[in-house]
Amino acid sequence: MRLNLIEMGEGPPVALLHGLFGAAQNFGRVQRALAASGHRVLALDMRNHGASPHAAGMDYPTMAADVAETLEAAGALPAAVLGHSMGGKAAMALALTRPEAVARLIVADVSPVRYPPRLRGYVAAMRAVPLRSDLTRREADAALASAVPDAVVRGFLLQNLRFETDPPHWRLGLAEIAAAMPEIEGFDGMPEGAHYDGPVLVLAGEHSDYVLPEYHARFRALFPAVEFATVPKAGHWLHSENPAGFLALVERFLAA
């Protein structure tokens, strides 16, 4: 699948892959900073997200193939690839299935492991919002509140509810995402014995539990040249919670 992308800057290509329920625009500050420092930066909308097409199947080899097809069409391979959360798993899958396409890899606050199904309630709550012509953002926020108690997270999810149409609509492929949650939570389908020998940086948010010490061995088995770093004063959304700290580590790694 050819994905929608936002591109800026000139220089060595860097691809940015967002997480579940996100979009390319979530990397706005990071993209502008990397473009200003001499990179051609391509932020992609993953399938069923943003302005990219909707389609069934969200296993990581499939999403990695989408990324490879899109970057190849843009003449941007090989690229440094930075992925956050779901996008981080897709970036790892790209490195493991198409190592020649990845110049270096940055994985932001996710590990190559299966996570518990703690986000399925978000999908169900979004699908249950009554998309009436007179729906207001405040009503949609209230409809999500019981399943999504954090107001910041609700605001993040509601970026995907488009009020410029009558009735409002979700730009996410929610039915496809709901069906694919077991695939998104896991990290299956990698080629047997696959590994990526290029440089890899894994960034963990100081207050996040997505990259635990017990996961480091799994990283090292797949990515022998991996190094780990922590973004201080940040949780899972480390690139938005501490953009300066995040960018300092990313730019240092890209310049190495």
The confidence score (pLDDT) of residue 13 equals 98
Average pLDDT in the chain: 97
The per-residue pLDDT for 193 is 94
Give the pLDDT mean for 28-45.
98
Residues of the chain with CATH 3.40.50.1820: 5-115+186-255
Whole-structure pTM over 0.85, yes or no? yes
With b for 16 or more beta-carbon neighbours within 10 A and e for fewer, the 39-60 pattern comes to bbbbbbbbbbbbebeeeeebbb
What pLDDT, in 10s, does the model give residues 171-225?
999 999 999 999 999 999 999 999 999 999 999 999 999 999 999 999 999 999 9
**Which pLDDT tens digit goes with each residue over 120-150?**
999 999 999 999 999 999 999 999 999 999 9
- DSSP string covering 190-213: PPTT----S-EEEEEETT-SSS-G
pLDDT value of position 229: 98
Superfamily of domain 5-115+186-255 in the CATH hierarchy: Alpha/Beta hydrolase fold, catalytic domain (3.40.50.1820)
Mean pLDDT for 229-233 is: 98
Q: How confident is the model at residue 232 (pLDDT cuts 50, 70, 90)?
A: very high
- Grade residue 101 by pLDDT with cuts at 50, 70 and 90: very high
| Cα angle for residues 236, 169, 25 (degrees, 5° grid) | 40
pLDDT category at 72 given cuts 50, 70, 90 is: very high
